[in-house]
Structure 1
């Protein structure tokens, strides 16, 4: 099945000089429907408990490029958090650029927006030049209603990109100075997009549309590895806010989720917290026909390195065959030794070279370590005497008399205060 993916240019022809009305090219292989791969939240440059993930990220981006080639994908959409930092390292930029290059070499155009981790200015630098090579970086709030137009046999498809919209910094630019929430800001952006779509459909049906947005939609589930810059519910928006668009490719949350058949999160391509250890990372492949979305299929990504949470004594973790499947994983371990082990991280890395997190937990059931069990049934004098003995030495008979006097005085003062409260209550 041959794939022809072209960009419409202002003179009404596509980049191959053919009419941009969606008619098939004469004398060539038949055209086909548009196929889109939805991925997001790459977070290139992120670390995992201090461990550099660039090699893992390069591996999974190569896997995405192979999926593009295998399934003849026309467009890859990346709705935000391309990088993990506003100022990514040089190594992170190299890994990301190589990922883009591999996807383009596999045959797909790329449309990407900025997320709350990206710097819109830095990510969008050179956007006009990059677009000529098939990489469309949509990071400007002022251009939310300016789509990338791509075509298949049924005509154009409008790709709109809404970068992460922080109300404080975008409300004036979107013409809603009184807006305070993400829902208010998104409503303003979507109003512009719907108006643009309606204008393009004058005299007929508007073009099919795909929207990229970086937001937290009500009903979706966070994984714990997302780092939000908002508090409370001010960041959430409703899925209905995106009505009027054929497919909504969401970014921000890190697990694949379906809110409606045409509003979805792809999730991150790698797990970024142990809370995601049971998740299978994936991308969505979306087919558009003449009427919009024809099908959406999930394609699982390879597991680059698993995550395991282990529990036991150092001896158990080093010798128990049951822990063998975790040897190659990123490991978080809870130690249950009666006494805190010395240099346990170095010792355990002999078996688990990717151990990244370690904590020691006092074992349950040891009454000597439980204060409540230790003082149950003992008098105040006995408790204080034991404390003095533990921190210094057994008190002398003279010191013991002082302890008894002090405790007696404290008891009389407490009883007097209680009686005073009772008098006040009876008077009232």
Structure 2
């Protein structure tokens, strides 16, 4: 028995205000192809299907197309909402959808009944905890629950009543596992570490499919895993290896997870160097259409650097010039560095416009002009 574990699709998301729907459609096609290729018994989406509670219509159509593809392949899909999703909206028509193989565990009552998938090796039980915060669980339970750990403990105690049936039991949750590594693109659940849930709570399950953190990672000998997001949603993730997990169980019900790589339309990466060096390198860059963060190391003013970069790198999304704001003796932004004298600023401007430095005569003339203006202002 085997299934595909994925999470944090964030359909409808943008990167530096650049829409990513085409990139997401490209990735979802690969996920569907993997499910077909490996004849998966199910596909699990561990939360954050959408990027916001009210997703754009195009994102809803994209999910609809994907679920139609899974239905045509007769592969069940099990979904829980994440902190970016609206559980009520995502869970619309969840009961009638069950008959078509789409199982959305969107509230605490649905949580009590596992999704059972029949496989050649026996039943596979999926128990899902919809994303929740302590206040929601406190209201539902009528008990003094004040932390994410307490909330998870309470919900897991209720789920445990349905885990004694023979077969393989899998838990799906969207949370911050204590000790895990974050990235910049995740929305914090709470401040000061109050959102962390200890791994010990998840003992008793053959495998725990987690969502929320965008970097793939594992604990407890790989039994508890984050699949990570299928795309890079910030430049802090440029070193991530994005993919989905193919989770396979042996005859003893022990899980082994294999990372299946995903290949984006555009990679997300950063490049660094002087403007003239980067423009030259672009001529032989086979991936010039990647989404780029450019760090310019030039220490002088440059006329329209973004325009020049986008002429050769059309998807430059962010640009930084750290050297312009760094004093040699001060690693932080220096007010003295920012207040360069008028003549130096004009010299940089002149060279950018004309392509060559001022002649001695021009420099003398310009110094006279600047001096006269400053005297008049004084």
TM-score > 0.5 by shorter chain? yes
1:168 and 1:391 map into 2 onto residues whose CA distance is 64
Give the Å deviation of 1:214: 0.1
Question: Residues 336 and 288 (structure 1 numbering): CA distance in 2 closer, same or farther, change over 3 Å?
Answer: closer
Question: Residues 391 and 207 (structure 1 numbering): CA distance in 2 closer, same or farther, change over 3 Å?
Answer: farther
Determine which of 317, 323, 326 is the counterpart of 1:356. Answer: 317
Please state if 1:39 is matched with 2:9.
Answer: no
Identify the residue that residue 54 of structure 1 maps to in structure 2.
21
Q: Secondary structure at the match of 2:184?
A: coil
Q: Secondary structure at the match of 1:158?
A: strand
Aligned residue pair count? 341
2:50 and 2:124 map into 1 onto residues whose CA distance is 27
- Larger Rg computed on CA atoms: 1
Please state if 1:70 is matched with 2:33.
Answer: no
1:304 and 1:292 map into 2 onto residues whose CA distance is 37
Give the Å deviation of 1:132: 1.2
Give the Å deviation of 1:326: 4.5
Question: Residues 257 and 176 (structure 1 numbering): CA distance in 2 closer, same or farther, change over 3 Å?
Answer: farther
Determine which of 272, 276, 296 is the counterpart of 2:237. Answer: 276
Give the Å deviation of 1:99: 1.8
1:333 and 1:349 map into 2 onto residues whose CA distance is 11
TM-score normalised according to structure 2 size: 0.83
Give the Å deviation of 1:277: 0.9
1:297 and 1:214 map into 2 onto residues whose CA distance is 21
Give the Å deviation of 1:276: 1.0
Q: Which runs of 5+ in 1 are unaligned?
A: 1-33, 374-388, 397-428
2:27 and 2:377 map into 1 onto residues whose CA distance is 67
Deviations 1:230-269 (A, max 9, x none): 1111100011111111111000001111112211010000
Identify the residue that residue 214 of structure 1 maps to in structure 2.
174
Identify the residue that residue 5 of structure 1 maps to in structure 2.
none
Deviations 1:303-356 (A, max 9, x none): 331122122333222223587244121011122334333332222111001110
Please state if 1:170 is matched with 2:137.
Answer: yes
Q: 2:74, 2:101 within 8 Å by CA — same for their partners in 1?
A: no
Question: Residues 118 and 391 (structure 1 numbering): CA distance in 2 closer, same or farther, change over 3 Å?
Answer: farther
Identify the residue that residue 293 of structure 2 maps to in structure 1.
332
Identify the residue that residue 384 of structure 1 maps to in structure 2.
none
Question: Residues 314 and 197 (structure 1 numbering): CA distance in 2 closer, same or farther, change over 3 Å?
Answer: same
Give the Å deviation of 1:208: 1.9
Deviations 1:378-408 (A, max 9, x none): xxxxxxxxxxx99954999xxxxxxxxxxxx
